[in-house]
Amino acid sequence: MDNRRKLGTSNLWISPLAFGGNVFGWTLDESASFKILDLFLDAGFNFIDTADVYSRWAPGNEGGESETIIGNWLKKSGKRKDVILATKLGIEMAEGKKGLSANYMKQAVEASLKRLGTDYIDLYQSHVDDPETPVEETMNTFNELVKEGKVRYIGASNLSAGRIKASNDFALTNNLAPYICLQPLYNLYERQKFETEYSKLVNEESMGVIPYYSLASGFLSGKYRSVNDLDKSKRGQGVQKYLDERGFGILATMDEVAREQNVPLSQIAIAWLLQKPLVTAPIASATNEHQLTELLQATTLTLTKEQMTRLDTASHF
């Protein structure tokens, strides 16, 4: 693949699509996860995003399942050097195990490194904010991990623009490594927060942008057209909020563009994000080879200016 993109101000060159590891240990068991990961890398892609808390929400899970599966795959495949590996910390793993304090961060990184079976994390991200911990403490600790070689770069997800700016201002003033990327909720349906709160910040800070829920939990694939469709997958119940007039209007315009391009709706959703100038690489998940192939093909799809305008208009907030 020759269309890799530089992630913010880092020296990380990532594929134009990141694989979302939230499905590992949830909708995919270890064997199926290995197969998907092999296919992803064999297609020339290299960016895998996970979190320590994935997939704690699944019955019988404790958290850490996704990192463990990725670690087992890395050991079996020997492909650690071929992968840009991103993970996150901060969401509660167990009682008292959460946040961005120095003590907890040092525990969390060791646990993630052990599960991942690696001695370094390419991109370590604050998953959620910890209002009880000063940004100075968090940034100092991140930088200790960088100096120790356990982390290469740091990023933020679900922190307010103000907290990210304060964090990076402190880093700049004290000659520390800043957050080099943002992982926001951003897709054709959910545009408002990124475009009104974050876009100015990431532009000014030269931050990379790796949106999650690029397909709005599958809604933008066209799989869910009514409440009767919600039982089609384990993720269906998270889709009901999109089943409104605006959501159906977005799907209708996507249907038109998909027919014109002769591609599935999922490719329209990914291509729209990739043609937004601030977006580096969307994050998306697949549970089978067919879904994965569709997603990967989206990275070479070019929407016309007129098609982008129609999609923007249909999804206007």
Reported as a single tens digit per residue, the pLDDT across 162-179 is: 999 999 999 999 999 999
Residue 232 pLDDT greater than 60, yes or no: yes
CB 131 within 8 A of CB 159: no
Residue 202 one-letter amino acid: V
**Taking residues 125-131, what's their average pLDDT?**
98
- Measured CA to CA, the distance from residue 91 to residue 172 in angstroms comes to 26
pLDDT in tens, 61-105: 999 999 999 999 999 999 999 999 999 999 999 999 999 999 999
At residue 224, the pLDDT reads 86
In Å, what is the CA distance from 272 to each residue of 45, 187, 223? 19, 9, 18
**What is the average per-residue pLDDT within 175-185?**
98
The one catalytic residue among 54, 186, 189, 242: 54
3-class DSSP state of 284: strand
Residue type, 256: E
- Report CA 99 to chain centroid distance, whole Å: 19
Q: How many domains does the chain have?
A: 1
- The CA-based diameter of the chain, rounded to the nearest angstrom, is 55
120 is an active site residue: no
> What is the rounded average pLDDT of the residues 131-135?
97
Q: Are 135 and 163 in contact (CB under 8 A)?
A: yes
Tens-digit pLDDT profile for residues 258-287? 999 999 999 999 999 999 999 999 999 999
HEC profile of 211-256: CECCCHHHHHHCCCCCHHHHHHCCCHHHCHHHCCHHHHHHHHHHHH
Whole-number pLDDT of residue 235: 63
Determine the pLDDT at residue 1. 52
Domain CATH code at residue 72: 3.20.20.100
Using the CB atoms, write b or e for 7-32: b if 16+ within 10 Å: bbebebebbbbbbbbbbbbbbbeeee
Which domain, by its residues, includes 260? 5-314
Are 67 and 115 contacting, i.e. CB atoms less than 8 angstroms apart?
A: yes
Q: How far apart are CA 171 and CA 211, in angstroms?
A: 24
142 membership: H or E segment, kind and range: helix 135-147
Of the two residues 284 and 226, the one the predictor is more confident about is 284
